[in-house]
Amino acid sequence: MNETKNKANIYVIAKGAGVSVATVSRFFNRKSLVKKSTRLKILDVCKKYNYKPSRVASAITTKKTKSVALLVPSLKDPTFGELVSGVEFALSENGYCLNIFNTRQSIDKEMEIIDIIDNRIIDGVIVSGVYGSKEDKIFISEMLRRKIPCILVDRYIPGANIPYVASNDRLGGEIAAKFLLENNHKRIGIISYDTKVHIFKERVEGFISILNKDKLKEEFILEVPIKFGKIEEYIYKHEDELLKSRATAIFTVADTIAIFLIRFLLENGFKVPDEISVIGYDDIFYSKFMFPRLSTIHHDMFKLGKVVGENLIYKLENGKFKKRKQVIDPTLVIRDSVRKV
């Protein structure tokens, strides 16, 4: 078998599949450009010869590794699992491989990754920054200084000329507030992750702007540390404030907060939504299976990942980004955790 493998090359594969060398090359580099029936023929011949193209040889010739790095703030947060899936889908469809880096919501960790990326000869970088602010701008600037194409996803840095794909988080907050007001809630609390993270700041500001239009003020605003494991600890730390609140509804900037909050309320004898309504944000996989099923704002992380992956590939293969700014609007998902007062 090894002897057969050694004899195989792109010309042998092309002849065996009855296609041109250019078609085989496209298959290995951009599968999506080759029709399915032809792909199957090429795969059959590759299996026959146990043939796999050498990425090392290709990199030496083209000066490209067909590798992309993705930085995410936390692999514990289920929303980033969807983002990874979307990016991986776009890359694999086009013959690229994905390197994932978990910054653990640390700017210091983010900066440590710079040299690792450089040493691996990564073609391009997708960044979901820790804050989406000036701290992340240092990382982006260093990537650009080293001439490594870079694009942000689910984060953007206001005032910086850096390409990004993001959700309209302010609109999402507005949609959540309008939904609660339509259900006659007037006393509303807010629980957010650290609003130093730009997307959460946008969600809260969008929500409050709608309350203010109705001449309402939030009952309370609590900020949970961005460390994923701190949610439950923080809620119990502020249990007196929550239990004594007059709020009939609570908006949370993430479903992960809403899930812990609902459990906390149920454990303390509150009926959700009969006594307190809860609306989340993200529409993570688990939100439709919990009890009560969570009303939330759908934040399509898979789509964000797919779009940003395709945009970076376009940059790598055409020398420029297809679009420098792409914003995807969130939508309302009505389930069972909000009732009409």
The CATH class given to the 2-53 domain equals mainly alpha
Residue 295 is given by DSSP the state: B
Q: Chain centroid to CA 177: how far?
A: 23
Lowest mean pLDDT among 36-40, 216-220, 276-280: 36-40
Q: What is the mean pLDDT of the chain?
A: 90
Lowest mean pLDDT among 73-87, 88-102, 146-160, 253-267: 146-160
Lowest mean pLDDT among 8-22, 45-59, 322-336: 45-59
The closest of 225, 270, 280 to 247, measured between CA atoms, is 270
What pLDDT, on the 0 to 100 scale, is given for residue 324?
94
138 pLDDT exceeds 80? yes
pLDDT digit string, tens, across residues 2-11: 444 456 888 8
Tell me the pTM. 0.81
Please report the DSSP string for 41-56 in residue order. HHHHHHHHHT----HH
d(CA 275, CA 76): 31
256 pLDDT exceeds 50? yes
Confirm if 283 and 268 have CB atoms less than 8 A apart.
no
Q: Give CATH for domain 62-166+301-328.
A: 3.40.50.2300
Please report, for the chain, the start and end positions of each structural domain, with discontinuous segments joined by +. 2-53, 62-166+301-328, 169-299
Confirm if 13 and 49 have CB atoms less than 8 A apart.
yes
Q: What number is the average pLDDT over the span 224-241?
A: 82
What pLDDT, on the 0 to 100 scale, is given for residue 1?
41
pLDDT digit string, tens, across residues 105-126: 899 999 999 888 888 779 999 9
d(CA 199, CA 306): 19
pLDDT digit string, tens, across residues 323-333: 999 999 999 99
Coil vs helix vs strand at 251: strand
Same fold, 62-166+301-328 and 169-299: yes
- pLDDT band of residue 60 (cuts 50, 70, 90) is very low
Is CATH 3.40.50.2300 correct for 169-299? yes
Q: What's the Cα-to-Cα distance from 180 to each of 16, 115, 124, 266, rounded to whole Å? A: 64, 47, 42, 20
